[in-house]
Chains A and B, each alone.
Chain A
Amino acid sequence: MKLVDHFERGLAAPICLTWELTYACNLACVHCLSSSGRRDPAELSFDECRSFLDELQRMQVFYVNIGGGEPTVRPDFWELVEYATAHQVGVKFSTNGVRITPERARWIAASDYLDVQLSLDGATAEVNDAVRGAGSYDTARTAMRYLAEAGVRDFKISVVVTRANAGQLDAFAELADQHGAQLRLTRLRPAGRGADVWDELHPTATQQAQLYDWLVARGERVLTGDSFFHLNPLGASPLPGLNLCGAGRVVCLVDPVGDVYACPFAIHERFRAGNVRSPGGFARVWRDSPRFAEFRSPEAAGGCTGCAAADSCRGGCMAAKFFTGLPLSGPDPECALGHGEAALAAVTAGSAPRPSVDHSRRPVPVRIGGPTPDVAGRACDSSPLVGCGG
């Protein structure tokens, strides 16, 4: 059996586990995969987080990608990072930079087994802030400066490629070089709030072709998290990476309340395999979940049987199909050969599944006259930054 077949049948433990630590976020990015905003009152406690990390150590999950929400707004975040790295679980965390002070940057520089991934979705404030919100570009650039000044080498600048920033790839690469950082490009998925903006923001076919060429030319210097294997039919050189959909096979997501999903782009009941709080914990979910068994069966190959390119794109992204209303056996909505457009045209408007979990902050109701309404009816409805200090 080839290695890739082993991967598709599932491994003893994930290679790559994403852990969304909190749904709380100071930003409200229009494309947020996890529809984050408000803290969920049921999120894992500090002790539960530590037990989960103990389990990852036992299973030899060598590192975890921590995200959110904005993970650093959890008051116990840095302590959890220390706990993980002291227990042979390396950490890479994604942040918008809001909690990166000069002092914290020096702490990061002095920590082993810790990587930082800073999110930036435009090489200019105009492009970035249209997606991530006013002021977010300055926050990210300030954090980048602090990290570089503290000597944090090879931190990642993580960019979701959109129609608006696809022309800025060289500018992003230059920013990374200037900061001694590494550029990471990922795919815009129609997951979470991303479903609402995908039609207008996903790259055009021309941009996809340019992106593929750009990535091939850059090779392994640009990270992609295996985001773009659906573009492989565009040329003879496969992009660096495993080039397969790892959902539930080598990858999974644990959300802030402990629910285990097949991948970070699939927070939906259809892809939920269990909860780390249940008897047997995460290990049992990973090994025994019928949902994951389904994704690991030989019949679960990426679809598109009969297409000559199926071996190179492996049917594309399951989550992208699901949230655009396409069958999992059909083409990716951004199929490099153009089969996605025809398939999308056949989808009945409004029939695509909606994300089943939403922690977006609600708009503050505007009232004229009368007492100011208390919009923070529950603790978790208020800004996640309240009470977090500095």
Chain B
Amino acid sequence: MPEHGSEPASTPVFDPALPYRRSPQVALRPEPFGALAYHFGTRRLSFLKTPVLVTVVESLAGHADVHDALDRADVPTDLRHSYLAALRGLAEAGTIEPR
């Protein structure tokens, strides 16, 4: 069963007002629930649990900040909080990073 290797190096505090991107060391594999994200550096596996979250993660690099990416992906207001929480988790795992 999957195991991660080492903890990612120090991760800065997640700030959705900053520009982010998917880490270049991370590959996404489409799955029925969303996508599997694998970080080749830390060997960490993450799960993007909805297709919309996959869209957000893939589009981060093209937007001024995380809020912008969420707006463009039409994330409903009432779900915004949980999307930000998911993205914070992905930032802590090194799946996404400030750019």
Residues of B within 8 A of A246 (CB): 1
- Judge if A63 is at the interface, Cβ distance under 8 Å: yes
- Map CB proximity to B onto A2-17 as digits: 1 under 8 Å, 0 otherwise: 0100100101110110
Interface hits, A1-48 → B, CB 8 Å = 1, 3, 6, 9, 11-13, 15-16
Closest-by-CB residue of B relative to A9 is: B32
Known contacts A16-B2, A153-B6, A242-B2; is-contact A6 B43 (Cβ 8 Å): no
Report whether over half of chain A's contact residues are helix, strand or loop; otherwise say mixed: loop
Which residues from chain A sit less than 8 Å from chain B, CB to CB? 1, 3, 6, 9, 11-13, 15-16, 60, 62-63, 88, 90, 112-113, 115, 153-154, 182, 184, 220, 223-227, 241-242, 246, 250-251
Q: Are B43 and A90 in contact (CB under 8 A)?
A: yes
B45 shortest CB reach to chain A, Å: 7
Contact with A along B18-35 (1 / 0, CB 8 A): 000000000101111100
With the chains together, A11 CA to B2 CA distance in Å?
14
Find out whether the CB atom of A12 lies under 8 angstroms from the CB atom of B27.
no
Contact B1 A225 (CB under 8 A): yes
Contact of A154 among B5, B32, B38, B45 (CB under 8 A): B5
Beyond A15-B45, A115-B5, whether A62 also contacts B27 by CB under 8 A is yes
Q: Are A15 and B6 in contact (CB under 8 A)?
A: no
Which residues from B are CB-within-8-Å of A224? Answer: 3
Contact status A16-B40, CB under 8 Å: no
Contact A3 B47 (CB under 8 A): yes
Residue of A nearest to B3 (CB): A223
Which residues between 42 and 59 of chain B lie within 8 Å of chain A, taking CB atoms?
A: 43, 45, 47, 49
**For residue A226, which residue of chain B has the nearest CB?**
B1
**Chain A contacts of B43 at CB under 8 A?**
63, 90, 115
Measured CA separation A88–B26 after assembly (Å): 11
Contacts of B29 in A (CB 8 A): 12-13, 60, 62
Query: How distant is A161 from chain B, measured CB to nearest CB, in Å?
Result: 16
Q: Within 8 Å of chain A (Cβ to Cβ): is B36? A: yes
B5: A residues at CB distance < 8 A: 115, 154, 182
Q: Which chain A residues border B49 with CB–CB below 8 Å? A: 3
User: Which of B3, B6, B30 is within 8 Å of A12, CB to CB?
Assistant: B30
A115 to B1, CA, bound (A): 15
Given the complex of chains A and B, what is the CA–CA distance between A62 and B3 in angstroms? 12
In the docked arrangement, what's the CA distance between A153 and B41, Å?
Answer: 13
Known: A16-B1, A113-B40, A182-B6. 4 other contacts (CB 8 A): A90-B43, A112-B40, A227-B1, A242-B2
- B1, B4, B32, B40: the one contacting A6 at CB < 8 Å is B32
